[in-house]
Amino acid sequence: MKLYSNEIVFRGHPDKVCDQISDAVLDECLKQDKNSRCGIETVGGKGKIFITGEITTKAKIDVQAITKRVLADVGYPTDYEIIDNIGKQSPDIALGTNSTINGAGDNGMMFGYACNDTEQMLPTAMVILQEISKKYDELRKKDHRFLPDGKAQITGIYGENMKLKDIETLTICYQNTEEEREATDRIIIGICLEASLKHHIHINKFLINPTGRFKIGGFEGDAGLTGRKIVVDQYQSFANVGGGAFSGKDPTKVDRSGAYKAREIAKRYLKSHDLKWCEVQLSYAIGLEEPLAIYIDSDNGEIEPSEELYEECKLINIINDLNLKNKCYEETARFGHFE
């Protein structure tokens, strides 16, 4: 028996709330000015939300109003002290990403992954956890006993080619009012069973709030920070992870746009080459248009990238092909950038 684990954090987890705030500010900038340059970081804890980073934009944005709206959407109070500490992007970085150069906004390497386990071309356990996270968010909007914070983890039983056979243990920690815990635990179990049975997966054991209590959570019980859930945001440990986070970054930042493109390439090659899995690495140097390297690996061995693929992976082509100036990034920060 081979055991392997992966996890997700709920939309109300403090780190995820910070991701959503950063991306909500980004979305408003891009809505008003498609050429906005943003690198927005949010940190929250103990009654304060601190938004910092760099923005160069013609947009007129109200960071306080955006932050309060996200907090309300997630289910948190809106009376936190909100500190706007955003500055302008470094002109040295802007040199490499202006309209005449169109170079990458930073050095870096990023990965994309796809597999034939599910319709989404993602690992089954990852899809199950995404479905649980979405169902939990719907639940806490309707039932006051369920509070925003939480996370879930699958320890799966795997066979050959890392195919999920069963779930040995599903661990779920959910913030709640601690009223009628037996009843709320049963509801949680029902959500998990619905998601797993949809994929014909059996759960052998549940661990629900193993400490026995989870009433104090969110920014009262923990701090949050943009980009701290980098593995959850990508492939939950089923694939290699790039060096940079996503949220708060406009499409000229290849940490984000390159990762989205690598995922698109992996999905395309999975289908065209009839693969079980495919992983793509892209790498860039700040200010240069074309990637330094493209590496493609699969269950059928390495695949040589074409010259056309290098052209396709120039930053300006990625942004245009994937329509990245018109995407709602806040939505990607809620339940997963790859669904």
Q: For 4-46, what is each residue's pLDDT tens digit?
A: 999 999 999 999 999 999 999 999 999 999 999 999 999 999 9
pTM above 0.85, yes or no: yes
Active-site annotation, residues: 13, 15-16, 41, 54, 151, 214, 222-223, 228-229, 249, 253, 255
pLDDT tens sequence across 212-222: 999 999 999 99
Whether residue 105 is predicted with pLDDT greater than 90 in this model: the reply is: no
Q: Tell me how many domains the chain contains.
A: 1
DSSP assignments along 168-191, one per residue:
EEEEEEEEE--SSHHHHHHHHHHH
Q: Which pair of tokens denotes residue 50?
A: 């601190």
Report pLDDT digits (tens) over 113-144.
Answer: 999 999 999 999 999 999 999 999 999 999 99
Question: Does 208 fall in a domain?
Answer: yes
Q: Domain for residue 143, yes or no?
A: yes
Q: 272 lies in a domain?
A: no
CATH number at residue 152: 3.30.300.10
Residue at 200 is within a domain: yes
Phi, psi (deg, nearest 5) at residue 226? -60, 135
More confident residue, 38 or 160: 38
Does 206 map to a domain? yes
What average pLDDT does the segment 72-89 reach? 92
| 173 assigned to some structural domain | yes
Residue 324 belongs to a domain: no
In a domain, 170, yes or no: yes
Structural domain including 136 reads 2-8+123-218
